[in-house]
Amino acid sequence: MLDLFSQGIVNIFTQPTVLLLAVLGVVVGIVVGALPGLTATMGVALLLPITFGMEPVAGLLLLSGVYFGGIYGGSITAILLRTPGTPAAAATAIDGYALTKKGMAGKALTVATISSFTGGTISILILMFLAPILANFALKFSAPESFALALFGISIIASISGTSLIKGLIAGTAGLLVATVGLDPIQGFPRFTGGITDIMNGIPFIPVMIGLFAASEAFKSLEEMNITEKVKTKIQRFMISKADVKKIWPSILRSTGLGTFIGIIPGAGADIAAFVSYNEAKRFSKNKEEYGEGSLEAVAACESGANACTGGALVPLLTLGIPGDSVTAVMLGALMVQGLQPGPMLFKDNGDLVYTLFSGMIICYVAMLIIGLFAARYFAKVVEIPKAILTPVILMLCVVGSYAINNNLFDVLIMLVAGIIGYFMQKFDFPASPVVLAIILGPMVESQFRRALTLSNGNYDIFYTRPITLVLLLLSLLTLLTPIIKKIWQTNKDSKDESVRL
Amino acid sequence: MKKKWVGGLLASVLAVGLIGCSAGTDSASSGSKGASDFPKKQIELIVPFSAGGGTDAVARAFADAAKKHLPKPIGVVNKTGGGGAIGLAEGANAKPDGYKASLVTVELAILPNLGLASFQSDDLKPVAQLNADPSAVTVAADSPWKTLDEFLKYAKENPEKVRIGNAGSGSIWHLSAAALGEETGVKFSHIPFEGAAPAVTSLLGGHLEAVTVSPAEVSSQVAAGKLRMLGVMSDERLEAFKDVPTLKENDIDLSIGTWRGIAVPKDTPQDVVDVLKEASRKTVEEQSFKDVLDKLNLGIEYKDDTGFADTITKDSKRFKELIDKLNLKQ
């Protein structure tokens, strides 16, 4: 296997055009990812027809580059402008933007780049060496498992609520209510659509996300525009210290594992991976109080988790021919047009090509690391742009981005309404991320729950007789109850202390 | 005050200019022989599904291959949402001049019957059908059913025990499974998924008994020996799956599936339709178009405007009956 891999590296370096296309893909991906509304999925889909005429390796590496760069690129604007370029970056925005406000944008960008690189590269290595073993895991996931995973995702609201748990829960519930709009996922009955075709498939969550995060922030800074800022936001250093590395590497490794695992599961993508990674990083962190206030650990967790998803999602795609997320669904088409049938036969019939592809993917990630670290100091200059210029530009990007998703003006309206709501949420200290998480996961929880019951003919046994489902359900219970148990424990301890003193 | 006056003057000058321009083009087009100068500018092709999917691939392959047969290029625009309803509605409501054509899919005949569309299936004028894919009854390779007869016999003896995955409630694959049930008097349990791919994944994982999606969706798994196709719901056997019998060979008179084609708003002048029809006929013959569809395992099926109109009317009528029977209308 190693010789196939080294042969692959040689193959790539002897074909400069392939190398160039891979790097080009990464650059395009970073740009597409950084722009709100343009997601990695869209970038890959738009470049797909161009690859039809290319050599398989060249075309597929171009798309992989866009995929990897797109997932990473979302973090840049999330950190600098609170404008998540991709859904996965909504988790990064929580602490990334807090770091920027503290003047630590440079460090945050560096950490995001290094974490994305590490997460992505390790996940490709896992794909290379363990794909056939992990593949069958994907098939174990059916409706009850996906339901339990989505429920676990929703329980994360508890840890991303910021200062007030109650406000977080209110925001999350509001998000779940928004998620009920649209066609009933099982019977196809339109709910709360008011006869508007545009929201028949539900309130689209990317415009909501852009509105809640980016537009609301822009509205807020409109308000502050006339206040002449004495303190200019400084970018400080880009280099991270040894202490920082020591602090973030456990959360990078943990999130890489989680991200790869979530990537393998069909129907769960980088967005869920980023939020779950955030949650677990916080659970095991020694510095819990930093989370939400600007934690490098949190940025590292989200970014490594999201990028680790890429290698994970490729596992079922290449070994079974089933896509793990929306990007790999497009890549399935790319493989087939190249005459490569993904599935068990791919490794046997096209072993050389597959390992050349893997080598190329790692080169893509190395390119991403170099470009990211080099360009960070230029990206970060954005923070120094006066608000009077930056704010209108952000608003314009919000409009263009939400239009671009479906080429639909209605989505722009949704973005603006979400922006206004987001503005007042900020005023009254309600966190935005629980809403986004609930809109992403709400439909998944509902449809998988009902699908599971259809599969079992209405029998609820299906939720506790399957081991993966049971474990995930218990995990969500644990996540929900931890804050409460802790509180009780704390008060007990306090009263004991008091009694001792008495 | 003065400013307003100048503004008014400017506006009227502009307006006169515009009228002059449009009059100019009018006389130009009436001067020459009808629509022979169509198209004078780029044609927009609305695709009601997202970039990267099968419908999008057909549209882009068509647009690319049509370059040789039309003086102006075709630009693909994805208008997604509402399970195809938004893009189809936009195409139906477009200006009927041929510059905004639609890539229509079988949803054109389904959505109005479900009560989920703001258009009727005859709001669009068919130009040409490009593709058709039947529904295929597919089971796991390690299942006990080797033939369609065995499968149906088991399903008959165990009503509602056989779970068939489809691509969503009211989707063509749901309707085809339901039609199979109607035709054979078998009661299946229909499980809707968000698209065909998750249904196939669930079948692979052993969580379902069968799926009734298109051959393209299961072809790689069938080739790998993980799934077995028992029958296709087409009139004749498929080129790519020669040894899979049709339902008609099993004495089940059922032929149902998806299709894709080109259409324009219903009031588009016939001479414009003729230009597009002629270009479509030649485009379907292009090797590059055939290659893309072949590689994606999508069936090429060309029909001209009247043939395509027959398909749409026939299917719309049939789906209405099915949807009424299944009580799916919202």
B136-250: what CATH class?
Answer: alpha beta
Beta bridge partners of B303: B129
Q: What is the mean pLDDT of chain A?
A: 89
B189 contacts on A by Cβ (under 8 Å) = 454, 457
Both tokens of A154, joined, read 């929703």
- B169 → closest Cβ in A41, A187, A316: A187
**What is the number of other CB atoms lying within 10 angstroms of the CB of residue A237?**
11
CA angle in degrees (0–180, nearest 5) for A192-A193-A198: 150
A80-138 pLDDT, tens digit per residue, is: 999 998 999 999 999 999 999 888 999 999 999 999 999 999 999 999 988 878 888 88
d(C-alpha A175, C-alpha A438), whole Å = 5
Query: DSSP assignment of A371-439, as one string?
Result: HHHHHHHHHGGGGGS-HHHHHHHHHHHHHHHHHHHHT-HHHHHHHHHHHHHHHHHHHTT--SHHHHHHH
Beta bridge partners of B164: B190, B210
Are B51 and A267 in contact (CB < 8 Å)?
no
d(C-alpha A457, C-alpha A170), whole Å = 34
d(C-alpha B172, C-alpha A361), whole Å = 38
Are B192 and A189 in contact (CB < 8 Å)?
no
Are A48 and B52 in contact (CB < 8 Å)?
yes
Q: Where does the pLDDT of residue A502 fall: very low under 50, low under 70, confident under 90, or very high at 90 and above?
A: low
Considering the four listed CATH numbers 2.60.120.330, 3.40.50.300, 3.40.190.150, 3.40.630.40, the one that applies to the domain covering B38-133+258-326 is 3.40.190.150
Task: State how far Cα A196 lies from the chain centre.
Answer: 30
Burial B185-207 (b: 16+ CB within 10 A, else e): ebebbbbbbbbbbbbbbbbbbeb
B83 contacts on A by Cβ (under 8 Å) = 183, 200-201
Are A143 and B202 in contact (CB < 8 Å)?
yes
- A454 → closest Cβ in B80, B191, B201: B191
Domain residue extents for chain B = 38-133+258-326, 136-250
Torsion angle of alpha carbons A29, A34, A35, A36, nearest 10°?
Answer: 120
A209 CB-side CA count, 13 A: 32
Kindly tell me the number of DSSP H helices and DSSP E strands found in chain B: 11, 11
Domain residue extents for chain A = 2-493
Domains B38-133+258-326 and B136-250 share a fold: yes
Give the best residue of A137, A265, A322 to mutate against chain B (max B CB count within 10 A). A322
B49-83 pLDDT, tens digit per residue, is: 988 788 998 999 999 999 999 999 999 998 888 88
> ipTM value of the model?
0.84
B208 contacts on A by Cβ (under 8 Å) = 455
Task: Work out the minimum CA distance from A88 to partner chain B, whole angstroms.
Answer: 20
pLDDT of residue A132: 79
d(C-alpha A323, C-alpha A263), whole Å = 10
B225-284 pLDDT, tens digit per residue, is: 899 999 999 999 998 899 999 999 999 999 999 999 999 999 999 999 999 999 999 999
Residue A195, pLDDT above cutoff 90: no
d(C-alpha B258, C-alpha B278), whole Å = 23
> Average pLDDT per run of 10 along chain B, which is 330 residues long?
46 45 40 64 93 88 94 91 88 94 96 91 96 96 96 95 93 95 94 90 94 91 92 93 94 95 96 95 95 90 96 96 86
B-contacting residues in A 248-267 (Cβ below 8 Å): 266-267
